[in-house]
Amino acid sequence: MPILECLSGGGVLTTAEITRGARRRLGLQPTDLQRANKRSSEQKIDQIIANALLDRRYLCKMRFIEREGAGTFRLTALGRDYIKKFEENVAFASAWLAENYPD
């Protein structure tokens, strides 16, 4: 979700912009900030985010995001719908919990 949230503002973002935005939205642990095994110049979390943006990965395969050019991405209409549905589900679950477990 952090990647989709970054792109939800509209427009086209670079991989670096998405990485910075996603990192801000995550509760990172010390292990997330360790050096990546395959890319020693990157932290693990940066490698995970970069891998999530690959064309063959879920976000692109499900057409939630699309590549605009080399290293640039945008949220698709399907991605916006996914975020909206997710937010509706969270609101419903929160209301249900508040009603059924008031304390």
Tell me the CATH architecture of domain 2-100.
Answer: Orthogonal Bundle (1.10)
Q: Where are the domains of the chain?
A: 2-100
pLDDT the model gives residue 52: 92
Spatial separation of the C-alpha atoms in residues 88 and 16, rounded to whole Å: 29
Task: Answer yes or no: is pLDDT of 39 > 80.
Answer: no
DSSP 45-76: HHHHHHHHTSTTSHHHHTTSEEEEETTEEEE-
pLDDT the model gives residue 103: 78
Show the CA angle centred on residue 76, arms to residues 23 and 48, nearest 5°: 30
- Half-sphere exposure in the Cβ direction for 31 (13 Å, CA): 0
pLDDT the model gives residue 10: 85
Total-model pTM: 0.80
- What would the mean pLDDT of 80-84 be, rounded to a whole number? 95
Q: What are 26-36's pLDDT values in tens digits? A: 988 888 888 88
Relative to beta strand 65-69, strand 72-75 is antiparallel
